[in-house]
Amino acid sequence: MICVVIIILIGGYTRISDSGLSITEWKPITGVLFPLSQSAWTLEFEKYKLIDEFKLINSLMTLNEFKFIYFWEWFHRFFARFIGIVFAIPLIYLVYKKLITKSDLPYIFTIGLLGMMQAVIGWYMVKSGLVDRVDVSQYRLSFHLITAFLILGVTLKFFVKKNILSSAVVISKEEKNEAKFFFLLLVLTFFQIFYGAYVSGTHSGLLYDTWPSYNENIIPVNILGKDSLIANFFENGDFIIFFHRTFALVLTVVLFIINYRVFTRSFLYAYKKIILILDILFLIQMLLGIFMTYLNIPWHLALFHQGNSIFIFIILVYLHSYINFARATP
Domain limits, the chain: 1-154, 168-330
Give the pLDDT of the chain (330 residues) as one tens digit per residue.
899 999 999 999 999 999 999 999 999 988 999 999 999 999 999 999 999 999 999 999 999 999 999 999 999 999 999 999 999 999 999 998 888 888 899 999 999 999 999 999 999 999 999 988 889 999 999 999 999 999 999 999 999 988 876 677 778 888 888 889 999 999 999 999 999 999 999 999 999 999 999 999 999 999 999 999 999 999 999 999 999 999 999 999 999 999 999 999 988 888 999 999 999 999 999 999 999 999 999 999 999 999 999 999 999 999 999 888 888 776
Q: What is the pTM of this model?
A: 0.93
CA distance 26 to 157: 32
Does residue 226 sit in helix, strand or coil? coil
What is the 3-state composition of the chain as percent helix, strand, coil, each rounded to the nearest 5? 75, 0, 25
For residue 171, list its beta bridge partners: 328
Report, in angstroms and rounded to the nearest whole number, the Rg of the chain calculated over CA atoms. Answer: 22
pLDDT at 226: 92
pLDDT at 17: 93
